[in-house]
Each structure stands twice: as structure tokens, then as C-alpha cells.
């Protein structure tokens, strides 16, 4: 039971454009949110959910589904938009982002939102949970895979590296980490706040199979996901170089857009750009 569509590159790019428009509209209507972090992750999410992840929106708790964990929970508008477009809940519900009583809160909640595997908020926890889920698959003799998306600023959390060490030690080859490396966090550039560079060398040092890609190039993303599935005996990390605010010119690589909503005029300008 799969929801794979195996779309061509042009179709994936069109879906990404739609997702980015959702992100801008959602955050603008809510009056708060994290556009930069959401937009940088869109292409990675679209390639995963449309062309790789084994899942079924009609059965969100299907036991044999692949698991996706958004450890950088503040980027959830992008994930919500993908889930809605995939059919987990009506697209119209995206307009309720961050509203009181909505199932779409500012950080994901597994108790209220179909398709959300863990409740997010505190950075650094997702890889540990993903490791536990991957180990459970091994114990249950299941073949599902677990994917965990982290931000590069999140790599400053020590718990990430405890999980990385454990995953390598236990040869957890059904676990794949995805690093959304947009080089910015709430206070500025990563290398200025608390440098985690060189990121690839660190993951290799922890024993992970390490893949470096352009996180907005679909052939590279798809190949990375395929390659990760072939690795045996150790976990895989995909380090994806991305652009914060990707797709909206005045948001790209601007730290100010980490966590604020666009004005009405800025929203209109962004949507015109995303109309292609």
C-alpha cells in the first residue's frame, strides 16, 4: 500500500511551487511563523513524499508505512502543506495555522494532526526518536525506513550527536537523516553563532554514510534517497545545501525571515514571484 507517484522533475517543481505558495499564505494569515526555514525544506519534502516515502494518507497509522520526523519543528508549515496536498486533511485547513483550537499549531502535534509522527518544538530530539523507531522496526522484523529532517543550527544540540553515535554503533541502516543546511539560524549565520562546520566530516567521523547534495536539485535529491536505501550496515545522512527563504527573492539568505510573517504587500509580492 503505497502513495508513490514517481513524478517527473517538472511535476515535482510545480508541486514545490504550490507548496511554497501555501507556506506564504498560511504564515501571512496567521501573522506569525517561520517562512525562511519552511521554504528551504520544500524541495526535500516534495521529493520524499511524492517519489520515495511509502505511506497512505487514508491510513496514517498503517503499520508498514515509512516514518518521517521533522526534528526542526518550526518548519512545519511546509510539512503541513505537503500533507494537505497528499490528502491527509483538507487543503482548506491550512488557513487555520496557529489559530486557537486548530490542529495545525506552530509546532507539529502527533495527537491532533494526521501524518505527524512526533510532537516537535524543542530542537535536537528528533534523531533520538527516529533511532528508537528504526530499532523498533528491526525488532519487529519490519522493512519500513525512518527519515529525520534536522536543521544545521539544530546540530548545536548535543543530543543530536549522542543519537548519531548510537545509530552508528548499532548499525542502524534503516535510518536516514536529512540536514537542511541553509546556513542560518534565528540569531545569524551558523558559523558566527556556533559553528558546526565541517558538517560532512563530523558525520563521517561518527560512522555514517555521508551524501552531500544541492537541496534544490531534484535529480540529486532523488538519487540521494535512492542511494540511502541501498546502504547496509550503517545509517545514512544526506547533507543538503539549501537557501533559506528559497523561492522568494527578498527572503532568500536573510536572517530576518527566520521567524516573522510577511505584510500584506510582501505577501502579494511573494505570491507573484511564486506564480512563475
The pLDDT tens digits for 126-150 are 999 999 999 999 999 999 999 999 9
- Which residues, in sequence order, are CB contacts of 133 under 8 Å at separation 6+? 67, 69, 117, 146
Sign of the C-alpha dihedral computed for residues 101, 107, 110 and 114 taken in this order:
positive
Question: In this structure, are strands 188-189 and 184-185 parallel, antiparallel, or unpaired?
Answer: antiparallel
pLDDT of 104 > 70? The answer is: yes
Put the strands of the sheet holding 209-214 in their side by side order: 67-70, 146-151, 175-181, 236-241, 209-214
Residue 198 backbone phi and psi in degrees, to 5: -80, 120
Is 178 among the domain residues? yes
Question: Domain residues for 75?
Answer: 9-274
Is 3 among the domain residues? no
pLDDT of 1 > 50? The answer is: no
The pLDDT tens digits for 153-168 are 999 999 999 999 999 9
Is 185 among the domain residues? yes
Is 221 among the domain residues? yes
Helix (H) or strand (E) holding 176: strand 175-181
Domain count, the chain: 1
pLDDT of amino acid 241 = 98
pLDDT of amino acid 6 = 77
Q: Rounded CA gap, 197 and 200, in Å?
A: 8
The pLDDT tens digits for 179-234 are 999 999 888 888 998 999 999 999 999 999 999 999 999 999 999 999 999 999 99
Q: Rounded CA gap, 176 and 64, in Å?
A: 17
The pLDDT tens digits for 27-68 are 999 999 999 999 999 999 999 999 999 999 999 999 999 999
Is 247 among the domain residues? yes
pLDDT of amino acid 3 = 52
Is 217 among the domain residues? yes
Is 267 among the domain residues? yes
CATH number at residue 96: 3.40.50.970
Name the pTM for this structure.
0.96
Is 2 among the domain residues? no
Amino acid at each position: 500500500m503505497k502513495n508513490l507517484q514517481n513524478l517527473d522533475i517538472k511535476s515535482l517543481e510545480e508541486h514545490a511551487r504550490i507548496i511554497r505558495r501555501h507556506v506564504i499564505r498560511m504564515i501571512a494569515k496567521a501573522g506569525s511563523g517561520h517562512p525562511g526555514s519552511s521554504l528551504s525544506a520544500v524541495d526535500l519534502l516534495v521529493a520524499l513524499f511524492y517519489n520515495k516515502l511509502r505511506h497512505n494518507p487514508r491510513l496514517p497509522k498503517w503499520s508498514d508505512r515509512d516514518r518521517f520526523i521533522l526534528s526542526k519543528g518550526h518548519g512545519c508549515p511546509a510539512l503541513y502543506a505537503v500533507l494537505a496536498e497528499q490528502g491527509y486533511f483538507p487543503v482548506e485547513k491550512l488557513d487555520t495555522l496557529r489559530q486557537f483550537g486548530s490542529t495545525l499549531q506552530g509546532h507539529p502535534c502527533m495527537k491532533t494532526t494526521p501524518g505527524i509522527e512526533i510532537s516537535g518544538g524543542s530542537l535536537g530530539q528528533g534523531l533520538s526518536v527516529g533511532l528508537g523507531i528504526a530499532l523498533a522496526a528491526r525488532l519487529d522484523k519490519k522493512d519500513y525506513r525512518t527519515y529525520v529532517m534536522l536543521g544545521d543550527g539544530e546540530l548545536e544540540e548535543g543530543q543530536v550527536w549522542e543519537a548519531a553515535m548510537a545509530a552508528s554503533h548499532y548499525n542502524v541502516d534503516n535510518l536516514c537523516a536529512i540536514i537542511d543546511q541553509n546556513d542560518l539560524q534565528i540569531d545569524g549565520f551558523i558559523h558566527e553563532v556556533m559553528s558546526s562546520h565541517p558538517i560532512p566530516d563530523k558525520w563521517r567521523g561518527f560512522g555514517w554514510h555521508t551524501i552531500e547534495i544541492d537541496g534544490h536539485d531534484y535529480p540529486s535529491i532523488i538519487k540521494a534517497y535512492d542511494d540511502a536505501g541501498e546502504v547496509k550496515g550503517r545509517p545514512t545522512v544526506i547533507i543538503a545545501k539549501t537557501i533559506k527563504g528559497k523561492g522568494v527573492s527578498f527572503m532568500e539568505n536573510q536572517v530576518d525571515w527566520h521567524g516573522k510573517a510577511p505584510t500584506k504587500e510582501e505577501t502579494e509580492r511573494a505570491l507573484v514571484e511564486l506564480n512563475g
